[in-house]
Amino acid sequence: MKKLFNIKNKCGMDLSETEDLYHGLGHFAQKRFGFKKPPTLHLVSDDDNASKPLGKTAYYDPQGMAVTIYTDNRHTKDILRSLAHELVHHTQNENGMLNDSGYHGEGYAQKNKDLRQSEKEAYLKGNMCFRDWEDSLKQSKPTIYNEWRNIMSTKNWKNNELMENLTEKFGFKMDLSLLKEDKMPDENKDGIPDYAQDGKGENDLEKSKDSKGKKEEETEEETEEETQKGNFKPKKGEEPIHLKKAREAKKGKK
């Protein structure tokens, strides 16, 4: 990924996995908004600001042509959305549309008509730019950025959590995946479901499932596989498999 921004990482954040996203969004926004010179990007940490529920998230400095983003306790996606917003202000500035006159203090978006207009444009165009960039990314690299795997992992995690609670409460374990089935398969018709027979596993149950949407089926199969290998839940210090795969896929792209 060709770097677009000069990033001043003053918050000590680990950017090794995410820096490409900043530049990627930047290139996308530049193409859409048409700004010429990319602004400097300051990533900062501020304990005092972070402790305020309505503290600052980001601002644009028209003189210094710099975007500053407060990163404390924020998800990367949220930080990037802020970046898209500030890039609209940067474009407004380059085009002489960021009106410097009038009231700039607290509540300027309510009291200064021109700045309110700039703000409206930044919210609309910034958010839509972010959304379109995100969607385009997920379409081009579904295995890395698509949320399917994460959703499935969360589902499994929930099941595990629920199972532990049940075990605690009733003193026995049960397979929650069976709750999804209308009827438990019983191949030899002895009244004992196949899963309970010795040597029978979830595999048989899996095969008997009705066909589902392709995407879901694929994801479920993969997750199933991971569960069977016993590496769904990473051991302490071990990288979760979906992160590992994503990282390897990313490495292969370089």
Shortest Cβ 85–Zn ion spacing (Å) = 6
How far is residue 247's CA from residue 245's CA, in Å, rounded to a whole number? 5
Q: Which residue, 91 or 156, has its beta carbon nearer to Zn ion?
A: 91
Binding segment toward Zn ion, per CB under 5 A, in 64-72, 90-98, 111-119, 191-199: 111-119
**Token couple for 53:** 């529920």
Residue 25 identity: L
How far is residue 104's CA from residue 102's CA, in Å, rounded to a whole number? 6
Q: Which residue, 119 or 222, has its beta carbon nearer to Zn ion?
A: 119
Binding segment toward Zn ion, per CB under 5 A, in 38-46, 113-121, 209-217, 234-242: 113-121
Binding segment toward Zn ion, per CB under 5 A, in 116-124, 133-141, 183-191, 233-241: 116-124
| Number of neighbouring beta carbons within 10 Å of residue 246 | 19
Shortest Cβ 74–Zn ion spacing (Å) = 16
# binding residues, Zn ion (CB under 5 A)? 2
Which residues is 58 bridged to in the sheet? Answer: 69
Convert residues 117-146 into a mask of x (bound to Zn ion by CB under 5 A) and - (unbound).
--x--x------------------------
Shortest Cβ 58–Zn ion spacing (Å) = 8
Residue whose Cβ sits closest to Zn ion = 122
With a CB cutoff of 8 Å and minimum separation 6, the contacts of 208 are 185
- Nearest Cα neighbor of 69 from 132, 127, 47, 80 is 80
Residues composing the chain: 254
- Judged by the rule CB under 5 A, the positions of this chain that interact with Zn ion are 119, 122
